[in-house]
């Protein structure tokens, strides 16, 4: 099941590829660079979406473990602050 970050990231990556290609065809280096950046941002966003899905699945499969990890992180953050 794809989440919005995966979908948006894929769309941005595809749009960046088009932008990069168009910049290459027209010789517009700025447009080409912007396209490459947009591709990278899209890939990063899609990977973030993948990570969110993996965490959600791990939480569904082992809710007690997830709860213990969350409590540990909360405790450590409390000590740091």
Return the closest-CA partner of residue 32 out of 42, 40, 22: 22
Residues 6+ apart with CB under 8 A from 4: 49
Provide the residue range defining the domain that includes 35. Answer: 4-80
Write down the pLDDT at residue 15: 96
pLDDT band, residue 31 (cuts 50/70/90): very high
Classify residue 62 as left (phi > 0), alpha (psi -120 to 50) or beta: beta
> Tens digits of per-residue pLDDT, 49-72?
999 898 888 889 989 988 898 899
| Number of folded domains that form the chain | 1
Q: What is the pTM of this model?
A: 0.69
Distance of alpha carbon 15 from the chain centroid: 16
């Amino acid at each position: 099941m794809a989440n919005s970050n995966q979908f948006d990231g894929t769309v941005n990556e595809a749009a960046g590829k088009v932008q990069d290609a168009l910049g290459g065809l027209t010789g517009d280096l700025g447009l080409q660079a912007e396209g490459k950046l947009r591709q990278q941002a899209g890939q990063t966003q899609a990977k973030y979406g993948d990570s969110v899905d993996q965490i959600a699945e791990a939480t569904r499969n082992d809710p007690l473990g997830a709860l213990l990890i969350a409590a540990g992180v909360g405790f450590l953050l409390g000590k740091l602050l």
